[in-house]
Structure 1
Amino acid sequence: MDRATHVIDPDGEVIIVLQNANAPFAAISEEKPAAEDPAPEWPAEVAVQPAEWPAEAAAEEPEWPVEVAVEPAEWPVGVEADEPAPEWPSTAAEHAPAGPATEEAIDRLTEGPADEPVGGVAEESAAERPAEPRVAEQLEENCVRIQVSAKHLILASSVFKKILKGGWKESVTYLQEGSVEITADSWDTEALLIMLRILHCQSYSIPRKLSLEMLAKVAVLADYYDCREAVDLLASTWINALDEAIPTRYSRDLMLWLWVAWYFRLPAEFKKATATAMSWSHDWIDTLGLPIPDKIIRSIEDRRNGKITDLILQIQNIRDQLQSDNKGCGFECSSIMYGALTKQMHQNTLLSRGPIAPFPRLRYGLLVQSVQSLKSPAWCEPGRRYSGFSQRHTCSYSTFKLLFGDLNDTIEGLDPDGLMHL
């Protein structure tokens, strides 16, 4: 085996070759609006049907320029004009199915060309040929190679067990030669080393404090290689040492927390994270590529849409009751409150909108705060003169706070135990 970059077990039979190390992790999708974009208090899109991508959004294929086939290519250097032009390589070979090379084909490749080309063209083409071996060497240099023990991997991870003992090509090589290389792609180097040291019981080399992002990376690795039981031993230590609290607004860190809380089975943290996601997300939930189960995302979006629908229906229902005199202590009371509510609904483009999900760019928390900040009118009782003292009309319908009651701007979080059975 080639020399390892990191040695966890000097007698290890396995080299893990990590390609494309430290690739971007949990990146926010550019197609979705940023979480910090301000949302209007009563957005016009409240009742808009799920938006389709506009026809103009699809990039049109550029037309080929007319000049593509104007003049034939110049003759290569060293080729006489009366000699036949060198042919382009056949495209049939490019599309031929890959398969094992036969002995005859290998002999043809090693023997070289049957005839020498004319006038040194071969020398120039060889000089101009792309340096494929150099590219391969550069890719190899960028790889991280970690020497580990096959036995430790097999005992702790069902995925490594299948690779080394499941009849795959790596397992055949391992059984025949006693050593093997296993490729991995795009993992964070530090997170992978932490997980592998845990599998090798090297607790003295494992940090006792991780950042939220590093903890999420380790959890993704443990989930992928199916070795949660081994990583669980240190999970509580890492979580208790975290500096990052669960955010109170929808953000990338909130989704990292949601993933960590779900994977390490932290019911209180999971409930708090899902409550914030439902209350303060203004669109669909972006998992950031984290392996959060679809049932969690569906449950978050369904409850968010349901709570927004309920609140909009409540607003419309109170307006209808004021109009029909089912609310209000009298004609003046219901009329004045109806007019104030209708006016503010109209100003905020909510008057003619219906409660239709998925409510793009609408946060439930902001909607509640907007209802709580509705301005209530003030008027005096009929037949009474103003005598210098406030004689404002007061009844159980005279303010919007009394009409709507106490509204909580936070939706209750999800119960992880209930989701386990979905």
Structure 2
Amino acid sequence: MSKIYEIDPDADTLVVVRPLADSFAPWPEHDANGTPKTLTNGHSSADVRIKVSSKHLSLASSRFRDILAQKAAAAAASAKAEAASTTAVHTNGFKTPPQSPGKITPSSPTQSLWRKEVAPPSPPRSSDEADGRIHIVLDGLDADATTTVLNIVHGRGGKDRVPKTVSLEALARIAVVVDKLKLQDAVEIYADRWVDELYRKGVPSTKNSRRDLVLWIYIAYVFQREEIFREATKIAATQLTGPLPTLANLPLRAKIAHDIDVQRQEVIGQALDILEGAVNKLVEGSLEHGEDIDAAGEVTNSDTFLLGALLRTLHRNKLFWPRPAAPYAGVSIAAISRAAHDVQTQVWRTAFRIGDATRNNRTNNQLLLTPQLDNLRAGVAGLALKSELGYNLY
């Protein structure tokens, strides 16, 4: 059964929010057998009907203004067609008498029975619905989020109608409503408060919070928060091991996902160049110092151990050899940087135990492996919302 929510007691419009066909922004996961499964969130199974004012909708949203204009045009066309069908049975203002086999003279009493009739005007109508209201049906939106946004549009900002704080999940659902209905200006004051409160906790950067990261990217885009958008997209470009997935009921722009993955692939390609150069130097022995040979003819320096440890670690992380090709599925610059740190830490400890720490430090200083990778990772810029000339990029 539909739930009715009244925002305007004198409403001339009824907004009908259909239940979501799927969970909101489910993150695709895979079990041990590789079978896709989905993290779901509960959603309503019934329509929600919201009584609102068409005037408030038109003033707040160009999208609503277009919808109402289309409905008004359709209603006018329907009224015109109905009027035309009513007058079609008239000829010169007189009802046409039935055909008679006999000739009827002007003085015939039969003719006097047919008098001039004028069709009554059709009353103006704004809706074909039985309740006389304009009905606007919305799909793909969360009912609670839509109700919250429409309360803001109508100036009904009491604590029972518009919350002072929201969760990241709730804000993402609100952002979808705002995005689809073009209501950024109407909710700006509330949105700034909600975003600032959540941002105090920071943008997630671990692999266990990938869905939250995508929600943050979308929220920052919708509410035009440049700093947050740049930070969140930078984290995505450095942490993710593939392109952003498409999440149901979350209309993240495809260009945003594409540009993030372009940055991800570019920095991974540069990191692999650094790794390949380090391996070549160790293989060729082109570092400044030579190898120390003991009395038995064995190499005693840590360069060989560093090479072996590096190759083994890279192989374990599917980074080298052979070198992975773009789009580098399963690879991130963060993972490459961590692997290099682990290798050099392991080698340094081993070299210290065998008394070769000094040579190992010289090797590290010449390779500059971890500093280069750290600088490369730090140099990822993330995405900007606007160009240098102030144009929106997405």
Task: Indicate whether the TM-score tops 0.5.
Answer: yes
* TM value normalised by structure 2: 0.68
- C-alpha distance in structure 2 between counterparts of 1:379 and 1:175, whole Å: 84
Quote how far apart the aligned CAs of 1:400 are.
7.1
Do residues 156 (structure 1) and 60 (structure 2) align? yes
Distance 1:415 1:240, change over 3 A: same
1:319 Cα shift? 1.9
Contact 2:341 / 2:370 at 8 angstroms: preserved in 1?
no
> Does residue 1:312 correspond to 2:254, yes or no?
no
Contact 1:249 1:276 in 2 (8 A): no
Q: 2:312 aligns with which of 320, 326, 347?
A: 347
Is residue 6 of structure 2 the alignment partner of residue 7 of structure 1?
A: yes
Structure 2 gap segments, 5+ residues each:
36-44, 79-124, 294-298
What is the deviation of 1:282?
Answer: 1.9
Matched, 1:175 2:126: yes
Question: Where do residues 105-116 of structure 1 align in structure 2 (5 Å cutoff)?
Answer: none
2:228 pairs, out of 251, 258, 269, with 269
Asked whether 1:224 is paired with 2:189, we answer: no
Q: What is the 5 A alignment of 1:201-280?
A: 201-204=155-158, 205-242=161-198, 245-250=202-207, 251-280=210-239
- Provide, for residues 361-389 of structure 1, a one-character-per-residue CA deviation record: whole Å limited to 9, x for no partner: 22321220110111336679xxxxxxxx9
What aligned pairs does 1:254-403 form with structure 2 within 5 A after superposition?
254-289=213-248, 290-332=250-292, 336=301, 339-348=304-313, 349=315, 350-374=319-343, 375-376=346-347, 392-394=357-359, 397-399=362-364, 403=368
Contact 1:313–1:355 under 8 Å retained in 2: no
Q: Is the 8 A contact 1:13 1:150 kept in 2?
A: yes
Conserved in 1, the CA contact under 8 Å of 2:220 and 2:226? Answer: yes
Q: Name the amino acid aligned to 2:329.
A: P
Provide closer, same or farther for how the CA distance between residues 294 and 336 of structure 1 changes in structure 2, counting only shifts above 3 A: farther
| CA drift at 1:256 | 0.8
CA deviation profile, 1:122-178 (whole Å, cap 9, x unmatched): xxxxxxxxxxxxxxxxxxx93221111111111111121111113577655853666
Q: Confirm or deny: 8 A CA contact 1:6 1:145 kept in the other structure.
A: yes
**CA–CA distance in structure 1, aligned partners of residues 6 and 351 of structure 2:** 81
- Residues 5-84 of structure 1 mapped to structure 2, 5 A cutoff: 5-20=4-19, 24-30=23-29, 33=30
Structure 1 residues 356 and 397, CA gap change in structure 2 (3 angstroms) = farther
Distance in 1, Cα, partners of 2:358 & 2:202: 47
How many residue pairs were aligned?
308
Unaligned runs of 5+ in 1: 38-56, 58-140, 381-388
Alpha carbons of structure 1 residues 327 and 355: separation in structure 2 relative to 1, 3 Å:
farther
In the alignment, structure 1 residue 188 sits paired with structure 2 residue 154: no
2:61–2:181 CA contact under 8 A, matched in 1:
yes
Letter in 2 for 1:282: T
What amino acid sits opposite 1:238 in the alignment?
W
TM-score normalised by the chain length of structure 1: 0.64
The higher relative CO (CA closer than 8 Å, separation ≥ 6) is in: 1
* Counterparts in 2 of 1:351 and 1:360: CA distance versus 1, 3 Å: closer
Q: Is the 8 A contact 2:172 2:215 kept in 1?
A: yes
Cα 1:314–1:281 change in 2 (3 A) is same
Q: Deviations over 1:387-421 (max 9, x none)?
A: xx957543763337963142425544333334934
What letter corresponds to residue 307 of structure 2 in structure 1? T
Distance 2:169 2:270 in 1: 36
Measure the CA separation in 2 of the matches of 1:22 and 1:16: 18
Contact 1:170–1:181 at 8 Å: present in 2 too? no
Aligned residue number for residue 91 of structure 1: none
In 1, Cα distance between equivalents of 2:148 and 2:310: 56
* CA deviation after TM superposition for structure 1 residue 18, in Å: 1.9
Q: Map residues 90-169 of structure 1 onto 2, 5 A cutoff.
A: 142-166=46-70
- What is the alpha-carbon distance in structure 1 between the residues aligned to residue 70 and residue 16 of structure 2? 19
Q: CA deviation at 1:29?
A: 2.8
Cα distance between partner residues in 2 of 1:214 and 1:17: 20
Aligned identity (percent) is 25
Match of 1:199 among 115, 137, 153: 153
Distance 1:365 1:254 in 2: 16
